[in-house]
Each structure stands twice: as structure tokens, then as C-alpha cells.
Amino acid sequence: MGLLATIGSLGLFMSMESLRGGSFRNDRDMAVSALQRARSLAVNNMCAGTVTSDASLCLQPNYCCDGKPHGVHFYSRADSNKGKIVIFQGASFSGRDMAADETIEFENKTVYADAAASVDIVFERLNGNASSTTVTIKDGVGRSSDIDVNSEGRIDWTN
């Protein structure tokens, strides 16, 4: 009887670990999907905001004369917003059009970019090129996954 209880508890432990691992993979997949969405918006020359032909307004936030670059902001482990990423419109997160932000919350609130500071990946409009970057996302129990973006905007990841 004791052997049966031991086997049963081991099976329950392994099932819970599989569930937690599946949750982390879902969060990693959401991060990859956010990168794919940002690249798609940039390649398709999209711009959310007021469309204008007034050249003096073109560089102002929330105005568009043409498409804009898009990117994804990954919060670091030290940031109070860890567990979230933001798809943004603009050449940088600090200079973005905040009205166009799409915030995505991870299922596991402890997921973060393993970096000293937050990480931004920005895709150029029309061609989708980006600076070569690797973002390692981690959770609070040691799972990690590398997401690589090369200079041509290709997105690749590991488990």
C-alpha cells in the first residue's frame, strides 16, 4: 500500500511540473508571437494614429504621414512590470506613441528578460530589419529560453 502511495505522489509531482513547464512555454510562445506581430506591423508600414499630410506634424507622437517602426519591450527582472511585454510603435520605447501600446501579460507573472536592464527589439519599417539581439527569458524556478532576432529580422528560439 505504501508503495502505491509513493508512486501516486510521484505521478502527481511530475504532472504539476509538466503543467508549470507548459505554462512557461506558452509565455515564451506569446513573446515570440509579439515579436512576429511587431515585425509584421513594421514590414507592412502600419501606423496607428492620426493620419496627416502636414509635414510639421509627421514626427510628433500620435501623428502619421507614413508607416513607423515597431518593436517589443521586454522588462527585466529588476523592473516592477516584470511578467509583461509591450508591443510599441516608434523608433524606441522611450520615444514611442504610447496610445498605440499593446501590453501583453504573461500567464506566469515571474517571467522576465534576464538582463541588467529592459530590452527593446525594434523592426525597421518596410524591410523588418533589426539589430541582432538575443533575449533570454526566465521564470522564478530556473526555466529559460533564448529568443534570437538577427539583423534581417528572423526570429528564432530555443526551449
Q: What is the pLDDT of residues 43-66, one digit of tens each?
A: 999 988 777 777 777 777 677 778
| Higher local confidence (pLDDT), 129 or 3 | 129
What pLDDT was estimated at residue 122? 97
Residue 87, domain member (yes or no): yes
What pLDDT was estimated at residue 101? 95
Lowest mean pLDDT among 6-10, 35-39, 77-81, 151-155: 6-10
Which CATH number characterizes residue 72's domain?
A: 3.55.40.10
Report the DSSP pairing between strands 70-74 and 144-149: unpaired
Q: Is the pLDDT of residue 1 over 70?
A: no
Using alpha carbons, select from 40, 28, 42 the residue that is nearest to residue 147. 28
Residue 15, domain member (yes or no): no
Long-range contacts formed by 14-20: CB under 8 A, 24+ apart: 20/108, 20/141
Counted residue by residue, the chain has a size of 159
Q: Is the pLDDT of residue 91 over 90?
A: yes
Residue 7, domain member (yes or no): no
Query: What is the span of the domain harbouring residue 43?
Result: 25-157
Measured CA to CA in angstroms, residue 44 lies from 24, 62, 151 at distances of: 30, 18, 18
Residue 18, domain member (yes or no): no
What pLDDT was estimated at residue 121? 97
Measured CA to CA in angstroms, residue 134 lies from 15, 16, 18, 125 at distances of: 31, 30, 26, 21
Residue 14 corresponds to which amino acid?
M
Residue 12, domain member (yes or no): no
Query: 21: pLDDT confidence band, cut at 50, 70 and 90?
Result: low
Query: 2: pLDDT confidence band, cut at 50, 70 and 90?
Result: low
**What is the mean predicted confidence (pLDDT) over 98-102?**
93
Residue 4, domain member (yes or no): no
Query: 4: pLDDT confidence band, cut at 50, 70 and 90?
Result: low
CB atoms within 10 A of CB 42: 25
- Cα 25–34–131 angle (5° rounding)? 105
Residue 19, domain member (yes or no): no
- Cα 9–139–132 angle (5° rounding)? 140
Q: Residue holding cell 500620435? A: 62
Q: How many domains does the chain have?
A: 1
Contact 100, 48 (CB under 8 A): yes
Residue 30, domain member (yes or no): yes
**What is the mean predicted confidence (pLDDT) over 30-48?**
95
